[in-house]
């Protein structure tokens, strides 16, 4: 059984509300916080606890018991200053993981300097995924791991159909690793060298962006 974690979600706009709901549905303890009472009321059935609070008031945050939480997600909307101050307070309180939604590059840089554990740019990340899907009909999904490495879901073409993984030899030829193979509703997360690939299978491929592109263009 997975450990039930404690999450505080601060700022209940579209992003924060959806994070709150998903974490709660996954069975975790979620404290939902926002300065707007009506928004807080709407999240009561999708959280373990919901509180109306000023996220820049240190005493208020401490009174809610945030120091006991494993994670805090700061999703404060349009105003950058409260987001930065809240993040700083949470880090000073000793919360293990503070993830913050950044509005722009300046916000990102400040959050980096004050020690946010992860900085999220939902619009940018979604835009990148969509752009890569538009770039190639073979790409189903795209996840950036770093500036150089990524994980991509590629649709197997007729060119590689009826070949085993050892016959394709993707790692030797292109420097990529096939992590998993999806076939209809089944997912093979530990594909073996002698497993066959068929047209329409979805390959979950990890590697350097240039290597994945070479495999996509030449190997498929």
Residue with more model confidence, 124 or 150: 150
Please check the confidence at residue 114 and state whether its pLDDT lies above 80. yes
Pairing of strands 139-144, 149-155: antiparallel
Task: Tell me the three-class secondary structure of 59-101, residue by residue.
Answer: HHHHHCCHHHCCEEEECCCCCHHHHHHHHHHHHHCCCCEEEEE
CATH code of 210's domain: 3.30.70.1450
pLDDT of residue 194: 92
Same domain, 139 and 99: no
Q: What is the pLDDT of residues 162-192, one digit of tens each?
A: 999 999 999 999 999 999 999 988 889 889 9
Please check the confidence at residue 216 and state whether its pLDDT lies above 80. yes
How confident is residue 200, by pLDDT bands cut at 50, 70 and 90?
Answer: very high
Which of 215, 161, 164, 163 has its CA nearest to residue 193?
164
Same domain, 169 and 185: yes
How confident is residue 4, by pLDDT bands cut at 50, 70 and 90?
Answer: confident
Residue ending a domain, choose from 104, 120, 136: 120
Residue ending a domain, choose from 82, 101, 120: 120
**What is the CA 27 to chain-centroid distance, rounded?**
18
Taking the C-alpha atoms of residue 102 and residue 108, their distance in angstroms, rounded to an integer, is 5
- The H or E element spanning position 131 is helix 122-135
Which of 20, 68, 81, 18 has its CA nearest to residue 48?
20
CATH code of 56's domain: 3.40.50.720
Q: Does residue 1 lie within any of the structural domains?
A: no
Taking the C-alpha atoms of residue 128 and residue 124, their distance in angstroms, rounded to an integer, is 6
The residue segments making up the domain with residue 195 are 125-219
Please check the confidence at residue 130 and state whether its pLDDT lies above 70. yes
Locate 136 and state its tokens. 């190639």
Residue ending a domain, choose from 68, 100, 120: 120
> What share of the chain has pLDDT > 90, as a percent?
63
pLDDT of residue 149: 87
Please check the confidence at residue 119 and state whether its pLDDT lies above 50. yes
Same domain, 26 and 67: yes
Same domain, 67 and 110: yes
Do residues 15 and 122 touch, judged by C-beta distance below 8 A?
yes
* Alpha-carbon torsion angle 209, 142, 118, 57, nearest 10: 150
Phi-psi domain of 215 (left: phi exceeds 0; alpha: psi -120 through 50; beta: other): alpha
Which of 137, 210, 147 has its CA nearest to residue 176?
210
Please check the confidence at residue 2 and state whether its pLDDT lies above 70. no
Same domain, 38 and 80: yes
How confident is residue 1, by pLDDT bands cut at 50, 70 and 90?
Answer: very low
> What share of the chain has pLDDT > 70, as a percent?
94
How confident is residue 133, by pLDDT bands cut at 50, 70 and 90?
Answer: low
Q: Does residue 103 lie within any of the structural domains?
A: yes
Give the number of domains in the chain: 2
Locate 105 and state its tokens. 């590059």
Q: At what angle do helices 80-92 and 105-113 cross, to 10 degrees?
A: 20
pTM of the complete model:
0.67
How confident is residue 123, by pLDDT bands cut at 50, 70 and 90?
Answer: confident
Same domain, 99 and 131: no
Please check the confidence at residue 145 and state whether its pLDDT lies above 90. no
Q: What is the pLDDT of residues 31-70, one digit of tens each?
A: 999 999 999 999 999 999 999 999 999 999 999 999 888 8
Q: Does residue 34 lie within any of the structural domains?
A: yes
């Amino acid at each position: 059984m997975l450990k039930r974690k404690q999450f505080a979600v601060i700022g209940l706009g579209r992003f924060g509300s959806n994070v709150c709901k998903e974490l709660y549905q996954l069975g975790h303890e979620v404290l939902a916080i926002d300065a707007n009472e009506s928004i807080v009321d709407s999240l009561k059935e999708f959280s373990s606890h919901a509180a109306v609070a000023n996220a820049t008031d240190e005493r208020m945050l401490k009174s809610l018991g945030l120091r006991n939480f494993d994670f805090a997600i700061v999703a404060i909307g349009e105003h950058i200053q409260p987001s930065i101050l809240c993040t700083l307070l949470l880090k000073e309180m000793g919360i293990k993981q503070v993830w913050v939604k950044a509005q722009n590059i300046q916000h990102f840089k400040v959050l980096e300097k004050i020690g946010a554990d992860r900085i999220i740019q939902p619009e940018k990340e979604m835009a990148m995924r969509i752009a890569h899907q538009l770039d190639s009909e073979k790409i189903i999904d795209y996840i950036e791991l770093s500036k150089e490495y990524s994980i991509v879901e590629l649709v197997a073409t007729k060119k590689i159909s009826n070949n085993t993984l050892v016959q394709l030899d993707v790692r030797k030829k292109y420097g990529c690793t096939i992590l998993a193979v999806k076939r209809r509703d089944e997912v093979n997360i530990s594909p073996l060298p002698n497993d066959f690939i068929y047209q329409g299978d979805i390959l979950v491929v990890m590697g350097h962006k240039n290597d994945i592109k070479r495999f996509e263009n030449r190997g498929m």
